[in-house]
Homo-oligomer: A and B are copies of this chain.
Amino acid sequence: MIRVQRDDFDIGKEIDALRKGRTGIGAIVTFTGTVRDAHGEVTAMTLEHYPGMTEKELARVEAEAHARWPLQATLIVHRVGRLEPGDNIVLTAAASAHREAAFEAARFLIDYLKTSAPFWKRESGPAGDKWVEAAP
């Protein structure tokens, strides 16, 4: 399942929903990305995205994970809008019979999302606003 939303998410409830009604799960791995508090240099972060394409890309990332690993369920939730240090940005989760697949898939979801899903971060700080540059 994929979701793009302004509101925060509750990791415990998301995991409960992921597990509900599914048998055969032995391992669940979650990754939560949060706004890092970089010594006061960032007072807020704003996430812009490309509505329509974002959902298509996230669905593609999720489908690719299911093609690569035997998974009972996966989840991607990504927030947009204004966030503050400590806030949740993104959640990926993977449930599988075994831990190897769950770890690898949860990591694949976030790694692939970071290179393909159309989100852009703008940081606000004492020195003004700037768009975050992509990792080389």
Question: Count of chain A residues with Cβ under 8 Å from any Cβ of B?
Answer: 31
Complex alpha-carbon distance, A99 and B86, angstroms: 15
Is A32 on the interface with B (CB-CB < 8 A)?
yes
Is A81 on the interface with B (CB-CB < 8 A)?
no
- Are B23 and A34 interface neighbours, CB within 8 A? no
- Are B103 and A99 interface neighbours, CB within 8 A? no
- Are B28 and A34 interface neighbours, CB within 8 A? yes
Complex alpha-carbon distance, A127 and B28, angstroms: 29
Q: Which residue of B lies closest to A10 (CB)?
A: B12
Contacts from A to B (Cβ < 8 Å): 10-13, 15, 19, 23-38, 85-86, 97, 99, 102-103, 106-107, 110
